[in-house]
Amino acid sequence: MAKPLGPTFGNEVIAAGLGGLPFSWGDTDETISGRENLDVAQNATLDGVIAAHDPTKQIVSAPAPSTAVLFNHENRLRTFEGVPPITLGDFRQQNGL
């Protein structure tokens, strides 16, 4: 059965070190072409990216500069307090952004 590939798949491919390699994809993993251009390790990495991929995950847009300043400041304070950093999505939700 075909696995859908959502909007974050390209970023996940890049993060896995496969960016710029000669292969492409469409809406599902069955539309990937160019696997023959990848070596065994690269194909295994691509299989791992596909397995871990959540097709419902959406791309988080870059924050406005003022939001970025507040977000970074929040995480600096958390560092001083010994509290784990907050994600941009959680920061936006908590502050109604």
In which domain, by residue range, is 74 found? Answer: 65-94
Looking at the structure of the chain, the number of domains it has is 2
Q: Say what percent of the chain tops pLDDT 70.
A: 100
The pLDDT value recorded for residue 62 is 76
Q: Residue 9 belongs to what H/E stretch? A: helix 9-15
Quick check: helix, strand or coil at residue 24?
strand
Residue 2 resides in a domain:
no
For residue 66, pLDDT beyond 90: no
Give residue for tokens 């075909």. Answer: 2
Sign of CA dihedral 19, 51, 42, 28: negative
- 1: in domain: no
pTM of the predicted model as reported, rounded to 2 decimal places: 0.64
